């Protein structure tokens, strides 16, 4: 613990992502650090946040997405699914990072206001991302049903097979787009003039009929022709890709988004992270082996070699790198 507090003495921020109550048991909960290290920004990431009936529970991305209702609006009716990317993990990390940056900037400008603790939970993050669906249920009393690659709130909006066995994703977001979709893309002005489809509410009500019309039209054209026509009509469109196809995506290659980085097992390709900032190249250093930099980092922070050896014996840090 003495070594830990010496490390905290040199830090601006402490981030923890441990089981509920773990930092309290270690004596480094935000309330403890407010006394021992009042200038430290303490960030705790947990599953459900303090003060509720689920606060004691462990949580992982899938569990938080299920508890927050995200799985119920993903997939198909009767076949719920977890959104593929780890949204709860990633977005909770982003909220934590943004909070840290805001507090650091505030401290530099002398406007910290005494705010030294940040609590971010996976559950709160997911309920925030569920905003539209929660508002819809709250104000209508109706749980929207999942629509696969479509949307329960907008029509037409979905994936359609093309004549060459590919899948195109097409969508509209307003009535003007629908008019272009029907007249310029489908070549069916009768659909554009049909009173059933003049508004989005009408189109969602008659979604099945519209999807049948679009499915039949897409099946007569190959993907390139569909996308070219959609672009000309000003209709949003995309190709449905598998991960193996995204790896070779020409838009990534043309914009030089791939880099080679070293790893303990040889070089591997890696994507540059967003955003693109003019005049700045994100650092893309080598991936270190487990424990490769432990000793140098701890030594730089003032930890003696015998203390590092003791920490290794306790299992607190990784074994010496070989």
Residue 247 within any structural domain of the chain: no
Using the 3D structure, point to which of 184, 219, 240 is the last residue of a domain.
240
Residue 50 within any structural domain of the chain: yes
Please provide the average confidence, as pLDDT, over all residues in the chain.
92
Query: Which of 282, 286, 284, 303 shows the shortest CA–CA distance to 294?
Result: 303
Residue 273 within any structural domain of the chain: no
pLDDT at 108: 62
Residue 39 within any structural domain of the chain: yes
Q: Is 33 in the same domain as 123?
A: yes
pLDDT, tens digit (0-9, with 9 covering 90-100), for 37-94: 888 899 999 999 999 999 999 999 999 999 999 999 999 999 999 999 999 999 999 9
Do residues 130 and 68 make contact, with C-beta atoms less than 8 angstroms apart?
yes
pLDDT at 8: 78
> Could you list the residue range(s) of the whole structural domain that residue 90 is in?
2-140
Q: Is 84 in the same domain as 182?
A: no
Q: Is 9 in the same domain as 122?
A: yes
According to DSSP, the residues that pair with 158 across neighbouring strands are 170
Residue 286 within any structural domain of the chain: no
pLDDT at 302: 86
According to DSSP, the residues that pair with 13 across neighbouring strands are 41
pTM: 0.86
Q: Is 29 in the same domain as 133?
A: yes
For the chain, what percent of residues have pLDDT higher than 70?
Answer: 96
Residue 107 has pLDDT above 70, yes or no: no
C-alpha span between 180 and 192 (Å, rounded):
8
pLDDT at 317: 84
Q: Is 36 in the same domain as 113?
A: yes
- DSSP summary character for residue 228: H
Q: Is 168 in the same domain as 74?
A: no
Residue 255 within any structural domain of the chain: no
Q: Provide the number of structural domains found in the chain.
A: 2
pLDDT, tens digit (0-9, with 9 covering 90-100), for 238-261: 999 999 999 999 999 999 999 999
Residue 143 has pLDDT above 80, yes or no: yes
């Amino acid at each position: 613990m003495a070594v830990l507090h010496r490390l905290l003495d040199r830090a601006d921020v402490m981030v923890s992502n441990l089981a509920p109550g773990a930092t309290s048991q270690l004596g480094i909960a935000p309330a403890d650090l407010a006394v021992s290290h009042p200038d430290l920004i303490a960030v705790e990431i947990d599953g459900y946040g303090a003060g509720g009936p689920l606060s004691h529970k462990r949580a992982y991305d899938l569990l938080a997405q299920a508890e927050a209702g995200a799985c119920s609006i993903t997939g198909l009716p009767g076949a719920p699914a977890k959104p593929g990317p780890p949204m709860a993990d990633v977005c909770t990390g982003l909220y934590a990072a943004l909070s840290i940056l805001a507090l650091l900037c505030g401290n530099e400008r002398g406007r910290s206001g005494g705010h030294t603790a940040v609590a971010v939970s996976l559950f709160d993050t997911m309920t925030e991302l569920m905003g539209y669906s929660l508002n819809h249920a709250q104000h209508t009393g109706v749980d929207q049903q999942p629509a696969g690659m479509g949307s329960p709130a907008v029509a037409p909006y979905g994936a359609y097979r093309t004549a060459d066995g590919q899948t195109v994703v097409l969508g509209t977001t307003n009535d003007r787009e629908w008019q272009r979709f029907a007249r310029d893309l489908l070549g069916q002005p009768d659909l554009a003039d049909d009173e059933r489809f003049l508004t989005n509410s009408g189109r969602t009500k008659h979604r099945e009929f519209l999807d049948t019309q679009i499915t039949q039209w897409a099946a007569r054209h190959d993907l390139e022709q569909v996308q070219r026509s959609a672009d000309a009509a000003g209709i949003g469109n995309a190709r449905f890709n598998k991960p193996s196809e995204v790896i070779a995506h020409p838009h990534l290659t043309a914009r030089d988004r791939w880099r080679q980085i070293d790893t303990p097992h040889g070089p591997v390709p890696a994507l540059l992270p967003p955003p693109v900032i003019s005049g700045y190249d994100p650092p893309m250093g080598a991936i270190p082996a487990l424990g490769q930099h432990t000793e140098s980092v701890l030594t730089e922070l003032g930890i003696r070699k015998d203390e590092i050896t003791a920490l290794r014996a306790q299992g607190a840090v990784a074994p010496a790198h070989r």
